[in-house]
Structure 1
């Protein structure tokens, strides 16, 4: 496993994408930085982090020997790999807020950005992870927290990184062996607010109620509406309100 350590970079995903475009990159090449100046999240959101206190990295995964017809399985597998790492650290109340935010109780501690490389078929993927580890101050971000805020423990970033990569390898093997149902069922078992009455906002800004029942293989969320209709929503179409 090749690990590229940087003191500062705009985005580890952008750095790794640029590297892949210029040269052959080994499977599980990792780019990790102490300071990410323009970290990116889902839907163009920005990931802000105190320098040197959190884990910000991207992983290149070769998928040329895989039969992953539905890219969302990669997102599910990575979410579970991080969840397993945090469970081993005894982080309480873990769940996955669709599509792939990791929560402790109802506070966000980790975000994931996956960018797939498609050449005729899905060829590889770049997995970007931002995990709040030792940062304690989240001014203006009431829904953010960190491992140290939750447990009071100061963590070794390299140790957590290595454990996450090992768990990603385990779930990648499951995808390679086409154990898709196992991955999907496991992911759905950790869905935040699954089977609980929840409030959502649609693209027009209107609020409505429903129950999260699961996800489709395409990554859409399944919500049971008040009239007992099961409806699928894409990421751009719906926001789950806390």
Structure 2
């Protein structure tokens, strides 16, 4: 594993994408930063992180995602890798809030942003961005956020976490395509608020109740509505209220 450590950068994902465009990168090249000025989440959401407190990392992967239809399986494998590492630190009540926010009880402690590049020769490379709240303890303006330090009342070695997450990614990403069914089963078991009534709001601010049934192969959330209809929702079409 090649590791590039940066003090500050606008975005580790953008840095790694730019690097991959100019040179042949070793598979599972990792970039970390102590501070990220333009961190992004899903659909352009902002990822804020206190300088030097948290883990900001991006991983370059090639030749593992073979079919475009397996794109969401990559998200699943990444989310499960983070959960497996957190479990090894005894972080409790872990789940995945669709599509791939990592939760401990009702608090978000990590997020994932994967950006794929489809080449003309049919090959696919990916940059996997991970933000993990590690040692930050002040979330005054982020009531739904927490960290490993707050939850476990301890401090953690970020360098150790980088290695452990990269190692789990190698294992789980290798299962995409060959044993995706196992990944999907695990992801389904960890799905946040699955099977219980929960409120949602649409992009037009309409509030409704539904019960999460699972996630489709295309990555859409499957919700059972009060009129017994099963409806699939894409990113940003609905937001869970919890």
* TM-score normalised according to structure 2 size: 0.96
Deviating 4+ runs (over 2 angstroms)? 63-70
Partner of residue 170, structure 1: 171
How far the C-alpha of 1:139 sits from its partner, in A, is: 2.1
Structure 1's 64 and 86: CA in aligned 2 closer, same or farther, altered over 3 A? closer
Cα distance in 1 for partners of 2:228, 2:64 equals 42
Partner of residue 128, structure 1: 129
Secondary structure of the residue aligned to 1:111 is strand
Partner of residue 195, structure 2: 195
- Cα-Cα RMSD: 1.2
Cα distance in 2 for partners of 1:8, 1:65 equals 30
Partner of residue 101, structure 1: 101
Cα distance in 2 for partners of 1:232, 1:47 equals 26
Contact 2:64 2:174 in 1 (8 A): no
Contact 1:116 1:122 in 2 (8 A): no
Structure 1's 68 and 8: CA in aligned 2 closer, same or farther, altered over 3 A? same
How far the C-alpha of 1:21 sits from its partner, in A, is: 1.2
Q: Structure 2: give runs of 5+ residues left out of the alignment.
A: none
Kindly indicate whether residue 199 of structure 2 is the aligned counterpart of residue 184 of structure 1. no
1:1-242 matches, within 5 Å, as 1-63=1-63, 66-67=66-67, 69-120=69-120, 121=122, 123-176=124-177, 178-242=178-242
Cα distance in 1 for partners of 2:32, 2:197 equals 39
Structure 1's 65 and 134: CA in aligned 2 closer, same or farther, altered over 3 A? closer
Cα distance in 2 for partners of 1:58, 1:241 equals 29
How far the C-alpha of 1:86 sits from its partner, in A, is: 0.3
Cα distance in 2 for partners of 1:64, 1:53 equals 31
Post-superposition Cα deviations, 1:58-107, rounded to whole Å, max 9, x if no partner, equal 00011267345231100000000000000111001100000000000000
Cα distance in 2 for partners of 1:65, 1:30 equals 18
Q: Structure 1: give runs of 5+ residues left out of the alignment.
A: none
How far the C-alpha of 1:143 sits from its partner, in A, is: 0.4
How far the C-alpha of 1:145 sits from its partner, in A, is: 0.4
How far the C-alpha of 1:159 sits from its partner, in A, is: 0.6
